[in-house]
Amino acid sequence: MAATNGNSSYDARDITVLEGLEAVRKRPGMYIGSTGPRGLHHLVWEVVDNAVDEAMAGFATRIEVTLLADGGVRVIDNGRGIPVDIHPKTRQSALTVVLGTLHAGGKFEQGAYTVSGGLHGVGVSVVNALSQKLDAEVRRDGFVWGQSFSRGKPLSKVEKLKPWKKNSGTTINFWPDTQIFTDSTDFDFDTISTRLRELAYLNRGLEIVLTDERVFEEQTEPRSETFLFKGGLLDFVKHLNSSREPVHPHVIEIIDRSAESELELAMQWTGTYTESIHSFANNINTHEGGTHEEGFRKALTNAINAFARTKGLLKDKEENLTGEDIREGLTAIISVRVRVPQFEGQTKTKLGNTEIRSYVEKILNRHLPEWLERYSSEARRIVEKCITAAKAREAARKARDVTRRKSGLESGGLPDKLADCSTRNPDEAELFIVEGKSAAGPAKQGRNSHTQAVLPIRGKILNVEKARLAKALQNTEIVDLITAVGTGIGDEFDLAKARYHKVIILADADVDGSHIRTLLLTFLFRHMRGLIEAGYVYLAQPPLYRVKVGSKVHYLKDDTELAEFRKEHPKVKASRFKGLGEMDAEELRVTTMDPETRTLLRVDVDDALAADELFSILMGDDVAQRKLFIQQNAKDVRFLDI
Ligand code: 0RA
């Protein structure tokens, strides 16, 4: 509910809401999710979303985001500017109300914006409440206006700063409150850059500039990036497919604007074996899918099958291609704009509007067959790819049946190599996937056999990015893994059948270990994504160093910890573990396995898009791109969130 009434005159009910910013400071989590890094970045999204709303309404064309040297953030847009006129009843400037009132936002009047970003839309006032200082500057009505706040409270009235006949717009500077964000107020350039790039793709023609003016040791010049995509989603798909081999040259693009809703779609098939479909509603990434994706899938399956039949590529007696066959290797971005979005699901990222399912389906039923006819030689290649996928699926099914019988999956048998735990309560059960010949022994001895199971994995398991599932299922390591976890894979995946609620990858800290880790994560991401989404997948953190001071032994995770330790004990000698196998059972237990003393990293693919890109680059064919990526991201494994 908006805190203001429809005709934007304020009454007593609204006045009580004016006290609302105290509530935001008391329970920030209610408004921004958390006061950790995610909540902190939410402040930026909130201000940027307001500026993007101005762009979507057709007024702003450029947004500048600057990370200031003193820890603040500046967001400039060239929209209409937040209104400053004084409301007769409250005798307050609209600017003061927008920034000082909970939920007032910019959307007083129905129809001020056709559509607007939904999820973050808690209002700039929330940012104001959670900032130790916020300065607003508005350029409109012939002047520059300014007002400053501290922790949501105005420090002054709206001041007329100087005449201004040039462009209109809004500038918001804010400094997050260290009393609220007690862990850290450091903004992450890459996180912000990723989101701004995404926004620029989603809003074709909108120029977004990100500048980092903060001073780091290695960095002297401000770092700056400009995002402006004239091709919109088409450019987005090209970008995602840049490390993949397209099956056909043209990216399919469909755009529709009706009075009620808008649809933009871009897609292209590649020679890979996985689907990369990403959807958005009102600029928000709908990780959990929803009605727009459902409408898309239905129309796509129909259109491809109909085309295949009329061209005789699929014979009368042959079965229809399944949706899964059709989507193999497909990269697609679906973006809808909806007047009143309904977000559902665990993380409120599933679009619920039922009318959107039929809207998307209707538009695509009209345009997809048109495209396929017009580019019929490309369409034929697409269908051939789908038919190959169908044959491979049939082969995979057979292979799966065989592995099922072989592994005794149907009789509930478990892999011989698995040292299972005795508890049957998945909530307390943990599975350690242990790489390296010599580590399995100590891990089995060092575990708590009631709650901890150990599955040794030998050799490098198959790179699933380059192989179809049928092939992957010939690999005993993979079959053992699937059997032990219990959920099944792909279509048959069922989270409720997970035998462990922690699946922990334990690999050496060296290059080989990191390769195995990536291979395992790729497999889990592609075929058991639900396990990662549920937060069940972890990385163990074995130490890299052992140091002795007198008779006391310390374990240090990495070079940073060692350097820190050496400040206190400059002369200390450290021995480096070459592999997990060098640790005895007790050492492994204390440092890595025992819940009382270990640390785990939870694997988080909240941002499936970034992960998708990451995996296709890390595991795909383009060696040069992979090298470049690793050089640039050696220390930045973004899909991991502690
Ligand atoms: C309220 C009403 C109007 C625009 C805005 C707020 C607005 C808010 C923000 C926040 C950042 N940049 C912004 N730009 C505009 C409509 C103004 C009109 O009708 O002229």
Q: What is the pLDDT of residues 404-451, one digit of tens each?
A: 555 544 445 788 899 999 999 999 999 999 987 678 899 999 999 999
Domain check: are 89 and 139 in the same one? yes
Q: Is the pLDDT of residue 311 over 80?
A: yes
CATH number of the structural domain spanning residue 39: 3.30.565.10
Domain check: are 186 and 258 in the same one? no
Domain check: are 199 and 272 in the same one? no
Domain check: are 374 and 444 in the same one? no
Cα of 502 to ligand 1 centre, how many Å?
Answer: 47
- Of 208, 227, 246, the one marking the end of a domain is 227
| Per-residue pLDDT band at 115 (split at 50, 70, 90) | very low
3-state secondary structure of 589: helix
| Per-residue pLDDT band at 382 (split at 50, 70, 90) | very high
Least confident of 109-113, 136-140, 217-221, 489-493: 109-113
Domain check: are 376 and 257 in the same one? yes
Which residues does 113 contact at the CB level (< 8 Å), separation at least 6? 53, 56, 57, 106, 107
- Of 400, 417, 446, the one marking the end of a domain is 400
Domain check: are 521 and 392 in the same one? no
Tokens of 182: 């007690």
- Give percent of the chain above pLDDT 70: 85
**CB atoms closer than 10 angstroms to residue 578:** 11
**Residue 409 domain-assigned?**
no
Long-range contacts, 366-374 (Cβ 8 Å, 24+): 367/254, 367/256, 368/252, 368/254, 368/299, 368/300, 368/303, 369/303, 369/306, 369/307, 371/252, 371/254, 372/303, 372/304, 372/307, 373/307
Which whole-number Å values give the CA distances from 433 to 444, 462, 528, 538, 558, in the listed order?
11, 15, 15, 10, 22
Task: Spot the catalytic one: 324, 512, 582, 641.
Answer: 512
Domain check: are 509 and 605 in the same one? yes
- The edge-to-edge listing of strands for the beta sheet with 574-576 is 552-556, 545-549, 574-576
The number of the ligand 1 atom at minimal distance from the alpha carbon of 83 is 17
The number of the ligand 1 atom at minimal distance from the alpha carbon of 79 is 14
Domain check: are 239 and 216 in the same one? no
Which helix (H) or strand (E) is 134 found in, with range?
A: strand 131-140
Which whole-number Å values give the CA distances from 138 to 123, 146, 192, 309, 448, in the listed order?
17, 6, 24, 60, 62
First to last CA, the chain: 35
Cα of 224 to ligand 1 centre, how many Å?
Answer: 26
Domain check: are 557 and 601 in the same one? no
Domain check: are 45 and 171 in the same one? yes
- Domain span at residue 169? 22-227
- Told to judge if 355 belongs to the known catalytic residues of this protein, a careful annotator would answer no
Which helix (H) or strand (E) is 208 found in, with range?
A: strand 207-212
Statement: the pTM of the whole predicted model exceeds 0.85: no
CATH number of the structural domain spanning residue 488: 3.40.50.670
Number of domains in the chain: 4
CA distance 135 to 117: 23
Q: Beta partners for 267? A: 252, 332
Ligand 1 neighbours, Cβ below 6 Å, are 50-51, 54, 77, 79-80, 82-83, 98, 106, 112, 124, 170
For residue range 502-514, list pLDDT tens digits in order.
Answer: 999 998 877 777 7
**Residue 13 domain-assigned?**
no
Report which DSSP code applies to 290.
B
**Residue 139 domain-assigned?**
yes
Positive or negative, the Cα torsion across 395, 398, 402, 403? positive
Least confident of 99-113, 153-167, 276-290: 99-113
Domain check: are 189 and 237 in the same one? no
Positive or negative, the Cα torsion across 289, 290, 292, 298? positive
**Residue 411 domain-assigned?**
no
- Of 170, 201, 227, the one marking the end of a domain is 227
Domain check: are 394 and 498 in the same one? no
- Told to judge if 641 belongs to the known catalytic residues of this protein, a careful annotator would answer no
For the chain, state the CA radius of gyration.
28
**Residue 11 domain-assigned?**
no
